[in-house]
Amino acid sequence: MKKLLIFSVSAYLMAGIISCKGVDSATPVTEDHLALNAVNAQVDNTVNIKTFDKVKNAFGDGLSQSAEGAFTFPADVTTIKTIKMFIKNECPNKTCDEWDRYANVYVKNKTTGEWYEIGRFITPYWVGTEKLPRGLEIDVTDFKSLLSGNTELKIYTETWLAKGREYSVDFDFVYGTPDYKYSAVVPVIQYNKSSIDGVPYGKAHTLGLKKNIQLPTNTEKAYLRTTISGWGHAKPYDAGSRGCAEWCFRTHTIAINNANTFQHQLGALGCSANPINNQSPGNWAPDRAGWCPGMAVPTRIDVLNNSLVGGTFSYEYKFQNWTNNGTNGDAFYAISSFVIAKSNTPITTPVVTN
């Protein structure tokens, strides 16, 4: 089995916004814009699409922790090689929420209306992403079947202050020869609306972590895309007073057909090496369990064996044994896990059932 870990932190023709809940000043897109973009893409291979423009996530004073918008992306994505998303969060003179907050971006499935998490990040302490010219960078190519034509996006921040956070988000659509011409994606599990909407760790719960998956018969490659971040300071502490699940290092397992197949190590990422290194006086440098303040949360890729194509197989997400003694609150793992199927012939969406 092949396992990869994707993680990145970090011209243009504008196709703009159709509608947006929040503040946005982008120019409305037209068919002429898209046609011009397609022509120029043959020259520089990249089309830049601007979406949210200085939208605010905040709490109180009639403000909202999320903003939604409808945007126009290229209609034909079969010749798109990669899609990169860039999230800029400006915070001049420490005017934003000063805490490290859970945040993510979603795309809406046009058929089902369900929101799919395409990227998760943690805001830095006290500052924004100004040290990164384009902000945080996340590869969202796995969602290109949804990032086409008229598309709805949502950005959320678990902020509890009216100062909140202000974002601008844009996408680079890079034209070229993709690994496979067609792809489809569907969630296996999504317990990721906020840090406290994750899966409780070390205590009983009723959230479903067992699923059945059926891949389309013409699948040529399939894999799982999982994003995990741990929250809480529950006891008993690990050595060094490391509470769960923000600070305790654990190994998670995905079982396929009841066999432990993939492992996700929620360990140190090297937070002190973050290029956003001006988060004073925040506690940004110590290593968390699989995430860092001011960075994108890693995406973990687990490639499925081709022998699974055409039948139904079981999936189970499993945690390392540990029991919360209840003396210092709860521990949670916010998790989203998607299955992606690819082919050089038109492909239907994998089927996920309980």
Picking from 77, 211, 59, the residue whose alpha carbon sits closest to that of residue 149 is 77
Each residue's pLDDT tens digit, 63-73: 999 999 999 99
Distance CA 251, CA 333 (A): 12
Architecture of the structural domain at 182-353: Sandwich (2.60)
Mean pLDDT of 342-352: 97
Distance CA 237, CA 142 (A): 37
Mean pLDDT of 237-259: 97
CB contact set of 276 (below 8 Å; sequence gap of 6+): 9, 124, 127, 129, 131, 132, 284, 294, 295
Q: Let me know: does 167 contact 123? Beta carbons within 8 Å.
A: no
Mean pLDDT of 3-20: 40
**Do 3-175 and 182-353 come out as alike in CATH topology?**
yes
Picking from 188, 194, 180, 215, the residue whose alpha carbon sits closest to that of residue 101 is 194
Lookup: tokens for 56: 């605010």
Which secondary-structure segment (H or E) carries 266?
A: strand 259-266
pLDDT at site 303: 98
Domain boundaries, the chain: 3-175, 182-353
- Any idea which residues carry the catalytic annotation? 100, 158, 246
CATH topology of domain 3-175: Jelly Rolls (2.60.120)
Picking from 101, 107, 78, 135, the residue whose alpha carbon sits closest to that of residue 293 is 101
Each residue's pLDDT tens digit, 90-109: 999 999 999 999 999 999 99
pLDDT at site 53: 98
Name the percent of the chain lying above pLDDT 70: 88
